[in-house]
Amino acid sequence: MVDVVTGASDPLLDALDDEQRVAAEALLGPVCVLAGAGTGKTRAITHRIAYGVASGTYDPARVMALTFTSRAAAELRARLRALGAGAVPARTFHAAALAQLNHFWPIVVGGSAPRVLEFKGRLLGQAAERARVRVDTATLRDVAAEIEWRKVTVAGPETYATRLASRGAPGSLTPEQFLAVVDAYESLKDERRMLDFEDVLLAMAGMIESEASVAMHVRESYRHFIVDEYQDVSPAQQQLLDLWLGGRRDLCVVGDASQTIYSFAGASADYLLDFERRYEGATVVRLERNYRSSTEIVDTANRLMRGRAGALRLEAVTASADTDAAPPKSHAEPRTVEYADDLSEARGVATRIRASIDAGTPPESIAVLMRVNSQSAILERALDEVGVGSRVRGASRFFDQPEVREAVHALRAAALTIADEPLFKSVSDVLRALGWSAQAPDGPGAVRARWESLNAIARLVDDAPAGTTFRTFADELRARAEAQHEPTVSAVTLATLHSAKGLEWEHVYIVGLTEGMLPIAYAKGFDAIDEERRLLYVGITRARQRLELSWPRQGGGYRGEREPSRFLQELGTRTRGAAGAAQAARTRPGARA
């Protein structure tokens, strides 16, 4: 029997829809929230945690909220603070494991914990030299990926030997050469007292298994676990989660099998789909009301996933005061545009984006999504031709940019001496000294990009709660930088479908939808093709108001005509030629001649 705490009327519950409220009230026992795209899953779980704390059911120090990226963890922490539950830690699996490892290593092993290796490439190159194996950079990347896969899947010797026999070693390496490089890599790590990223999970799991005192301490410290994006959990992460729980049942997981797009990195939706079987009597809640996208976009997403295992049937909700996002303002039918080649596609998309911006759409609310990073260069040039600034997500992290690092440092230094001034004046004075102005420079380019970065920091003042001091603002900016929780920059986003997960935009263009690109050429077999389908589903469900899919007949290194993606045929969206799309862009109000 699952204990359910019920509140007749509580502000934390009144803000939720019926299904979200059921999830929020089920505070004890195993809970599985199957949450489709745009259904308010983050809202539901943060309100659940805050309600558990406010009702006295949870001790905030004994709750652990887990997710998979630093950005998502920062978002959880920000929402929990706003709901009065800021004392609840929200971390990635790796951050939580590393904190525990650093705490227990001196006690159990002695001395400080080994240093974590950030990048494998250089050490792998040295390992190859030690093993007397000649490898190029591309092969080293594949060797690193293979090492990561083996560790996160916790593949034993026999299982891995079978995989190696069927798939072969990376690049042109023989299995013997590959294993020699791996052995040398592991030896070098041991000699230099280093762990790689995946070792952190395995080492912490091993410590809990082998040391009863560590297991007792960890299980006493944390009583309730909440795991977001549970469809992305790997066997190594699941193993560690099971050890943290130690047979207890106070676990809430949230996920969507249709958004499983990291199988190549060891993620498995099986843990989500099998949750009821593993936890008898679990509370299962389905969130299928989509508050993000128009009815037409939701219908398109549903058609793509019809009949797939674990797929939820989304229902568009076009008006609600109880969601974080405003309802869609228009109901344009998603459509497909056919172009002659890659350049025509890039220029056609750029022209339509220029028209949308001229009609009043903010650049930051537009995204162009693609399958691989190499597609971004031609799109950047095309947008530059029409005077539209763009930003490639993942190419250079916001807080790693020189001007941003300089601004963060300057603001923190100034906050030590400046007081009793309006927050905006304090911040703007520092930014002006770095070259920022209230008026944006004309046109795209490096000067405009620098201004946009500094302006994104200035705009954070508008989001700061009333009464925020300059010192608090500077400290929170530093915390954002450490978590890579990037602010919004006023530019069109160019992103791969993988990096778009968890984000949303008013207008979304998905380009390059041809056989060989989506699905990608190396996707062989039903499972691999289905992963490509889910990747497109993620892209489609990023759009709120407008969705456009396009494909070029020629280009991309293919000889002759390319074929449209098989997924386009299933979707049955209205197809236009490039001329029709360009004419539509030119006739929109405010469009340039």
Q: How confident is the prediction along the chain (593 residues), in pLDDT tens digits per residue?
A: 334 444 456 888 988 999 999 999 999 989 999 999 999 999 999 999 999 999 999 999 999 999 988 888 988 998 999 899 999 999 999 999 999 999 999 999 999 999 999 889 899 999 999 999 998 888 888 889 889 988 999 888 788 888 888 788 888 888 889 989 999 999 999 999 999 999 999 999 999 999 999 999 999 999 999 999 999 999 999 999 999 999 999 999 999 999 999 988 889 999 999 999 999 999 999 999 999 999 999 999 999 999 898 899 999 997 554 445 544 445 678 989 999 999 999 999 999 999 999 999 999 999 999 998 888 889 988 998 998 988 888 655 677 778 888 888 888 888 888 767 888 888 888 898 888 888 777 655 567 677 778 888 887 887 777 778 888 888 888 877 776 667 767 789 999 999 999 899 999 999 999 998 999 888 888 989 999 999 999 999 999 999 999 999 986 555 568 899 999 988 876 666 655 444 444 333 333 32
Nearest 10 degrees: Cα torsion 91, 92, 98, 101: 70
Map residue 528 onto helix, strand or coil: helix
What pLDDT was estimated at residue 1? 35
Q: Which residues contact 179 (CB under 8 A, 6 or more apart)?
A: none
- Cα separation of 544 and 354, whole Å? 19
Residue 404 token pair: 């941003």
How far are the Cα atoms of 378, 394, 519, 570 from residue 524, in angstroms, in the given order? 28, 27, 9, 19
Beta bridge partners of 254: 33
For every residue of 478-547, DSSP letters joined together read: HHHHHHT-PPP-SSEEEEETTTTTT--EEEEEE---BTBBTTBTT--HHHHHHHHHHHHHHHHTTEEEEE
